[in-house]
Amino acid sequence: AERLRPAGVAQMDWPALQAAVAACEACGLCKTRRNTVFGVGDTQTDWMIVGEAPGENEDLQGEPFVGAAGQLLDNMLRAVGRSRSGEGTKGAYIANVLKCRPPANRNPQPQEVAQCEPYLARQVALVKPKIIVAMGRFAVQSLLRTEEPIGRLRGRVHRYEGVPVIVTYHPAYLLRTPADKAKAWEDLCLAMETAEGL
Ligand code: URA
């Protein structure tokens, strides 16, 4: 099943990894994507944001979180003194579990997540962040290998490959459920405290 994903992802440098994702045909999403969506931001940073999958805008532009949810994410980053560019602020690196858009934004399927996960694992290994903020059920459940809902995982520090992980709601969910923004703010504060070793 892995024949169309290049071998050796776990040893790749950034250019090789980016090229491997751009050429990936490891799952059926390659047939319907317009662009792969690798990741964006400051690769030297200590903060990494992990989302679910590209949506329509991301698929068109080849960059994660460029639609409405992305604007909220940028505002959330600004609230903690960060930005995706890292220009004039601290930075953040942003990537999704899936690098290709599921048709009509349907949920990622387990075998798609399994095929794509080595890319995210390598991105984490290359960035070596002090903290990962996992946004939404799919990011959380695939990084932490759990079926527990976000509400039961928030508020404490988890680990992915040794890196502390904070769990929070997806910005698209927060757009629909603004009452939970206060909880997301608590989660970002916990991420700041954890990254700073408090
Ligand atoms: N939602 C995500 O999880 N990722 C994106 O890149 C855009 C929307």
In testing the pocket of ligand 1, which one of 40, 65, 142 has its CB within 8 Å of the most ligand atoms? 65
In testing the pocket of ligand 1, which one of 52, 66, 71, 116 has its CB within 8 Å of the most ligand atoms? 52
With 0-12 / 13-18 / 19 or more C-beta atoms within 10 angstroms meaning exposed / middle / buried, residue 41 is: buried
pLDDT confidence of 7, banded at 50, 70, 90? confident
User: What confidence score (pLDDT) does residue 4 get?
Assistant: 65
| Residue 17 included in any domain | no
CATH number for 75: 3.40.470.10
| Residue 27 included in any domain | no
Nearest CA to ligand 1 atom 8: 65
| Residue 95 included in any domain | yes
| Closest ligand 1 atom, residue 57 Cα | 7
CA of 62 to the centre of ligand 1 (A): 11
| Residue 127 lies in domain | 38-195
Phi, then psi, of 36 in degrees rounded to 5: -80, 155
**Among residues 84, 8, 88, 6, which one has the least CA distance to residue 49?**
84
User: What confidence score (pLDDT) does residue 143 get?
Assistant: 97
* Residue 2 clears pLDDT 60, i.e. is over it: no
Please give all residues whose beta carbon lies within 6 A of any atom in ligand 1, as ranges.
Answer: 51-55, 58, 64-65, 69-70, 96, 172
Per residue in 182-196, pLDDT (tens digit) is 999 999 999 999 999
Segment 138-156 mean pLDDT: 96
Q: In this predicted complex, what is the ipTM?
A: 0.94
| Closest ligand 1 atom, residue 136 Cα | 3
User: What confidence score (pLDDT) does residue 3 get?
Assistant: 58
* Residue 118 clears pLDDT 60, i.e. is over it: yes
Per residue in 54-106, pLDDT (tens digit) is 999 999 999 999 999 999 999 999 999 999 999 999 999 999 999 999 999 99
User: What confidence score (pLDDT) does residue 67 get?
Assistant: 95
Count the domains in the chain. Answer: 1
Per residue in 165-186, pLDDT (tens digit) is 999 999 999 999 999 999 999 9
Per residue in 10-28, pLDDT (tens digit) is 999 999 999 999 999 999 9
DSSP 106-144: PPPPHHHHHHHHHHHHHHHHHH--SEEEEESHHHHHHHH
CA of 12 to the centre of ligand 1 (A): 24
User: What confidence score (pLDDT) does residue 1 get?
Assistant: 46
Q: What would the two tokens of residue 148 be? A: 């527990």
Distance between CA atoms of 186 and 37, rounded to whole angstroms? 29
| Residue 142 included in any domain | yes
Per residue in 37-51, pLDDT (tens digit) is 999 999 999 999 999
| Residue 4 included in any domain | no
CA of 51 to the centre of ligand 1 (A): 5
| Residue 2 included in any domain | no
Q: What would the two tokens of residue 86 be? A: 């890292």
